[in-house]
Structure 1
């Protein structure tokens, strides 16, 4: 299987939490007591459906075919104030960067960002109170208890936003996959046509002194992506998590470098204006086709205020300089 078929960043799951156990309406009886008071215990709560962060996971493939998750029911209370057993909680392990949403309303419930972090996705029903809770001066022997609450059944959406230090932003065919394969051990599928990358490819980039950082090749943006055109919105959300945005524009673009950069930028801004606050670096890829004179000319037309570097992944040109720039921005 390729990374593409392994990478699942969206699942829809029906979660059913457990029903709470009923409270007991027992009255105390033993050899010495024929008419004792109420001693019915409380019912146990129903099991929760719980998400748990796992830093070793990078996909939700293991949840792809699991459409229903059902937690256990709580047990009824017993005599002698014995509480019923709590229903079995159902844990779903998810990668860091997972967001839980209500499928019906689209409301974001919470986000898992730390290893071992747990959040209740669907709460179990409360157990009913036993009859001893209802004893009063006017009602010495209540013969009733509370039933348990029913569990909840809800469709939930789990979405993964890739957590990476550097997000590669560029039109299809800008050379992002090639760069990732050169600077890391990632082996993305590379071909010379648009939309080769249909899922984010992650690579760990080695840096000086045994340091490293994570780079994500996010699928190519096209004009209109922020309106949901093409594969747009599904992939733009992965950029939200990146610390630094590396814009890649090929030297052989039929627009100017500045025009192409501006289009990419406005797509990001339309999608989420907060992305404009992230540090940005511009890499002019495929620059092995340029001579010094042409490069000097192009420098005059580059967007102002953005650190830039001319690179060629194939010729290994400017790669270390790019890593230095990125490292400075991350730290």
Structure 2
């Protein structure tokens, strides 16, 4: 974990503020485009936000927070109560959405989904790659960093405000896609579904802020053995692995509880996990908030 102080709160769009967090004990941990951090809020909630500043700036992190009408308490607290000067703890950056080297890119962003895309576009341009961004939102006033993008990349960015323009034709964009280009998309579920329907899956990279809501077989009970302590914990059908471990005194750091942030990653030493996350767990790993077991027993590194 890292200690920071909230240096600035800036309104960057209707209902969106950016937070600039400055390190208090020296340089902050390095990060690459696509990374996010866990931000521990003073109301005991932890939320995940994509880093949207400059990776070369080791003195501060920048994130952006949209005020969600159905907030679970995180965005509401940030908008109504968080003020500069507050000490805040953040995690080391994690990256489930890395920018893979390529000669060309097409970036697609919807609303607050611009946050991980913003440093990606800068990095792509700096590398000499061909890069284009299609940025979609309800109105210019509601689209964070629209003015910044227009000023810095006027010839590369198409800003589509749907109150005055039709939504972009993803099928036409896919038909015109260079065979050398990768596509990066972040936004609401409807945008991701539209992108997944037309772009080649081996060249499309997506990040979700909410679970895709896929269907799985009914939950079954299973046992998990914590190898370091030797403790065996039963996970009932109506509870998550994360909750079962917490109740048994084996707490695991967590954030979204939807399988999209990666903060509750566990190393699996034996047994077969049932992956229900939207990240794509690497071999030998699983995310305890949503994933379960196909085998009757799992052994984890706890």
TM-score in terms of structure 1 length: 0.24
Choose between structure 1 and 2: higher strand proportion.
2
Structure possessing the higher relative contact order (Cα contacts under 8 Å, 6 or more residues apart): 1
Instruction: Please say which structure displays the higher CA radius of gyration.
Output: 1
TM-score in terms of structure 2 length: 0.26
Choose between structure 1 and 2: higher helix proportion.
1
